[in-house]
């Protein structure tokens, strides 16, 4: 029986031969790939009639049968059988269904399992980016799934095929360019950058809740789905119990356990919740008390108590792609991302109150081409309805922000503001936002907390468990989290927050975001 063991970065497989000896092969990236290879060799040794000829590279094996195996089954037939035996999460199932429907069935569906060869699979993978207009990463994912499907055909009893033609062995081919295909490392943020992004997000969305949402992700390290699925009953004084998440699949939300069962709760081993520094404990407690008076409108779809801390303006949930496009990306980059049909646009803000309230989105100027701002009100993105005030760019009076335009609410007399017809192009109070931290994502805020803990010298066992990770080997077995460690982490996070608040105060002592302005008030005193 084949067995696999890890040797350095790669896996080595040992397999049993009929004569009693054991063969071995190394260089596999995963344990599953190694075991599939070993089982293939055992099948070929036990069934010589299924043997294949190999020339140098085991992955370039070619079959010796003279023609198609009329008794074999097609890839379509095997996939229909294979799918009924799989037990994976909703997200993984959806991804597999997409790859099978778009790439694997159209190409390999009519083929018999015994007719597929490694050169054909390699040629197909290399041609996918140009043929289907997808990235090389997507093509690699399609081949990996095909390898999984065919690997299970090899491991079936009796085996459907003698070897896995889609298996990709390590250390084959040239190395040039491999590093370019790897996913770039996550961008992380300093505490001040996290605060500035959160402030901008609240201004873009018109909800102060979004300020707390992003600050909470940065200082707790919770995942996006865990935070938007956080219910008030899981918030206790000084801590949060992470036991659920909301996952969005094809536009529908599902209430699921945390990723890889990474519970951080007093109710689940290792009984370590997410500890809150004092400032965040107060903000979360206030938000939880508000959540208990509101309900989620789609409880019947996903269950739960309906008392969610963070929802959208319409009572629904934040959708990852929509939130990124409308709020998070312009908050980080200072501009709305472009599309296939429209260029990226700058965020234009009225600077009556720093960092400026977004009022429009204008296309950036191109070198050597004349540029004029869009006329009138049509391009304005006013997000707050009559609750905040700023100075009119035309006459300097205090005005209220309304979706219909700028109207003056003069304290001395009631009359329409001369500037309500549009935003003057030469108005010095308008400015375009500069980037705060390009390429930052909500998950990058989770990376930020880990980086802060490393800088602060937090013990590895606490740093990993607080993020829902496991410490492997003896380090995890013999290390434990003490109350002193937990208190030290809260103190360090509190100190970082206070320092970032002081840095923000040096930029401007007021904020148009109500919750942040309240936090700045003691510094003004």
Q: Residues 451-471: pLDDT tens digits? A: 999 999 999 999 999 999 999
Number of H helices, E strands in the chain: 19, 17
- Give the residue among 320, 318, 276, 315 at the shortest CA–CA distance from 298: 315
Give yes or no for residue 408 having a pLDDT over 90. Answer: no
Give yes or no for residue 279 having a pLDDT over 90. Answer: yes
CA 339 to chain centre: 20
Helix (H, G, I), strand (E, B) or coil at 485: helix
Q: Identify the band that residue 388 occupies on the pLDDT scale cut at 50, 70 and 90.
A: very low
CA dist 153 to 63, 96, 160, 211, Å? 16, 17, 5, 51
Q: Is the pTM of this model over 0.85?
A: no
Residue 254: phi, psi to the nearest 5?
A: -125, 135
Give yes or no for residue 421 having a pLDDT over 50. Answer: no
Domains annotated on the chain, with CATH: 47-181 (1.10.150.130), 191-322+437-524 (1.10.443), 343-364+379-432 (no CATH)
**How many angstroms separate the CA atoms of 61 and 67, rounded?**
16
Q: Identify the band that residue 481 occupies on the pLDDT scale cut at 50, 70 and 90.
A: very high
99-149 pLDDT, tens digit each:
999 999 999 999 999 999 999 999 999 999 999 999 888 999 999 999 999
The H or E element that residue 357 is part of is strand 357-363
Range with lowest mean pLDDT among 181-190, 333-342, 495-504? 181-190
């Amino acid at each position: 029986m084949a067995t696999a063991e890890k040797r350095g970065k790669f896996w080595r497989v040992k397999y049993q031969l009929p004569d009693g000896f054991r063969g071995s092969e190394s260089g596999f990236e995963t344990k599953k790939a190694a075991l599939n290879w070993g089982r293939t060799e055992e099948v070929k040794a036990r069934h010589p009639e299924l043997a294949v000829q190999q020339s140098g590279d085991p992955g370039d094996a070619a079959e010796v049968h003279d023609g198609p195996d009329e008794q074999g089954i097609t890839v379509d037939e095997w996939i229909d059988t294979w799918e009924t035996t799989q037990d994976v999460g909703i997200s993984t199932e959806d991804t597999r269904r997409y790859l099978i429907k778009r790439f694997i069935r159209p190409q390999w569906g009519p083929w018999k399992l015994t007719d597929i060869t490694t050169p054909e699979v390699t040629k197909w993978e290399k041609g996918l980016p140009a043929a289907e207009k997808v990235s090389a990463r997507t093509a690699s994912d399609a081949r990996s799934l095909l390898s999984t499907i065919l690997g299970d055909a090899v491991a079936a009893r009796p085996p459907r095929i003698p070897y896995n033609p889609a298996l990709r062995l390590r250390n084959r081919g040239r190395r040039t360019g491999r590093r370019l295909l790897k996913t770039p490392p996550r961008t992380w943020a300093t505490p001040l950058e996290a605060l500035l992004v959160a402030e901008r997000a609240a201004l873009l969305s018109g909800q102060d809740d979004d300020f707390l949402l992003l600050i909470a992700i940065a200082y707790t390290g919770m995942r996006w789905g865990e935070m938007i699925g956080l219910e008030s009953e899981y918030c206790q004084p000084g801590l949060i119990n992470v036991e659920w998440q909301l996952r969005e699949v094809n536009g529908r939300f599902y209430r699921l356990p945390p990723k890889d069962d990474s519970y951080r709760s007093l109710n689940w081993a290792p009984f370590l919740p997410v500890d809150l520094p004092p400032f965040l404990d107060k903000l979360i407690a206030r938000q939880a008390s508000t959540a208990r008076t509101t309900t989620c409108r789609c409880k019947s779809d996903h269950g739960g108590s309906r008392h969610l801390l963070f929802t959208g303006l319409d009572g629904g949930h934040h959708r990852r792609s929509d939130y990124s496009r409308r709020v998070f990306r312009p908050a980080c980059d200072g501009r709305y991302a472009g599309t296939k049909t429209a260029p990226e646009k700058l965020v234009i803000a009225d600077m009556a109150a720093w960092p400026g309230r977004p009022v429009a989105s204008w296309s950036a100027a191109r070198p050597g081409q004349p540029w004029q701002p869009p006329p009138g009100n049509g391009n304005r993105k006013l997000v707050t309805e009559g609750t905040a005030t700023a100075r009119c760019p035309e006459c300097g009076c205090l005005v209220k922000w309304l979706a219909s335009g700028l109207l003056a609410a003069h304290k001395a007399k009631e009359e329409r503001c001369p500037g309500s017809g549009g935003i003057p192009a030469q108005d010095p109070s308008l400015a375009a936002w500069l980037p705060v931290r390009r390429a930052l994502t909500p998950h990058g805020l989770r990376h930020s907390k880990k980086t802060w803990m490393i800088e602060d010298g937090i013990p590895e066992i606490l740093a990993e468990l607080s993020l829902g990770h496991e410490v492997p080997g003896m380090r995890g077995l013999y290390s434990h989290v003490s109350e002193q460690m937990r208190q030290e982490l809260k103190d360090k996070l509190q100190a970082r927050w206070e320092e970032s608040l002081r840095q923000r105060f040096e930029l401007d002592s007021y904020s148009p975001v109500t919750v942040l302005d309240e936090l700045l008030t003691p510094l003004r005193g």
